[in-house]
Structure 1
Amino acid sequence: MKALVVDDSALMRRQIGDILTRGGLQVTTARTGAEALVRIAQDAPDVVTLDINMPEMDGLTCLSRIMAECPLPVVMISSLTERGALATLEAIALGAVDFVHKPGGTVSTALREQEDQIIAKVLAAAGASVRRASGLRQRLVARRDAIMRAPVRPRPRGGSYGPGHEALTLVGASTGGPAALEDVLAPLPADYPMPILVCQHMPATVTRHFAERLNQCCAMPVEEVRRQTELQPGTIYLARGDADMIVLERGGRLLATVAPSAREHTWHPSVSRLVATAMDTVTADSLIGVLLTGMGDDGARELAQLRRQGGYTIAESEESCVVYGMPRALVEQGGACEILPCPQIAARLERLAFTRMRNMAKGLENTSWAC
């Protein structure tokens, strides 16, 4: 398996190249975006690591050329700064599979600490399905405008959100997740009758900007959870990076709040911890769980348990996943009520949520999901 390392810093090229060589990849390097395009044409690498900040041709310009001319998996190398976070999201929108943070301070030490993560991300990206992202943002904004112009359907009497009516939609994603989340969340109507809680594996420097990005293409408002927050239907709550989001109940109110990252969980924000605390707070048959693209198995065990206890679970199908890791783990544990390609998940969520709301309004005792 071949990797191309693109960075204007000779030190970074050498350090990242050495790490990937130890990970079993054959490595070539390029110092500019223009040189990278030539190398790609000549060597046909399986995966590229690409620095965002480079002279002559910056990383975003180079990435857009790669995706237009010869799409292949790209992992961006970006800084932890505000500007780096915005550039990272733009890179993901352009089609980058994942990103690694360029360390500050002593580069050699910092990269050694990230070695396992860098190897895992690059190897996962090498086997990823590359999504063409051309025009995605424009399509999502147009779809949001259409949703906002549509009349809001009236809520049936008795269908208000309160004690006994608590229901949550829980969504987890990792590698490839930002684009998948836009596909799933943007089509949902403004009056979606549940709060939606989202865990996307990202650092805190990026999640605030990602919440703002989602807010531009979704009919529902999107909030990054930074403190104890009362949950309301028709709102999307994004977990803050580098921490975990948990669900709790206080005085008859359903809340989400931020908790320090738990050591027993490998990935953060942790999907496993979100699902577990939700199941401790409301009945399983009040929960819908969705597991989207990503490497690893975060959330799979808990969502499989959720299904066994009467909740409804959806796994993204392999055909639409960038990395079929987390959904595969859920399917292999027999934990998925349905396996759906990403473009079909929003419509299914809408049918499930509004059917439950209508049943609650009619006073039906059995409001469990047909799974």
Structure 2
Amino acid sequence: MRVLAALSGGVDSAVAAARAVDAGHDVVGVHMALSRNRDQFRTGSRGCCSIEDAGDARRAADVLGIPYYVWDLSERFEQTVVADFLAEYEAGRTPNPCVRCNEHIKFEALLDKGVALGFDAVCTGHYARVEIAEDGTRSLLRARDVAKDQSYVLAVMGPDRLARSMFPLGDVPSKEQVRAEAADRGLAVSAKPDSYDICFVADGDTQGFLRDRLGSRPGPVVDAEGAVVGEHDGAYAYTVGQRKGLALGRPAPDGRPRYVLEVQTSSNTVVVGAAELLTVRELDGDRAVWFDPAPEPSAWFGCSVQVRAHGTPVEARARRTAAPAPGSASEDGAHERVEVHLEDGLRGIAPGQSLVLFEGDRVVGQATVTASRR
């Protein structure tokens, strides 16, 4: 197969590309330039997409003996991932930019362009498995290394793009083995730190980034009874479940910590309260995508639900429906939704988060949280 290997400049993508070469595929490496104002160097393990990363990707391609290109996807990245990030926070929701990057950049812009150029598949260094049934149906499964599993952020891709995706690291038992393999292959990135935080907020100051882009918008912080207990500089900078940085003017009557319960963008108000008020038992999700075999519409089924990239799955019942959820951010009414009943509840779920449904290790589907109820 002709395979387009996404080379980020890190160790995972380099080893994944090497394994694709070993498998006999005709591999071409490509680095996605996602920012037009990239710093020359990363700060330790913060961020990615720097000029340093592009150079590391080129050197890895040279060692592997494969062609290498840089594709400028910065405008697409700004218009989709960054714009969505700002719009979601401004609307009082909490987005996951890695999910949107996989949706709009790695498995839309990159894959679609690759297919148009005659490539059969895209290869990435994500930790997830693809299982192919006798009838050709492909399933997305958790990685063997549960600690590195990335099926949560990949679930948004859906079955069609999964059919053109390769994840050679899915069966690797540990990241240490990947680093050892990279060193054995002579790849200089073998000891390079993993990137973390939001790639376009390389200093890790998400609130500062939002304030620079959205401006100062002072407003009240109130308790669950509506009494003003503090002030904020912009409701958009807060998320459900947040405890730190509230700067409350007076303590709670019982002296216990308070958490963000709700962000009311219409009134520019942040509502805080006790920890027990964060636990919810019902979730609504929109923009749902389903993997084959998809569950029957309207039929309840047992599953586990994960609402954070490295969160613990919890037991639940769910069903798919065709109508958009109330207050949905969907662009049209054709998107499916999902309803979820949590067996034991979850704490601090914010609209905008990605919820992923599993049956064992298999991804059933994914949706964006629109509402939660206690």
TM-score range, shorter chain: under 0.3
TM-score norm. by structure 2 comes to 0.26
TM-score norm. by structure 1 comes to 0.26
Normalized per residue, the structure richer in helix is 1
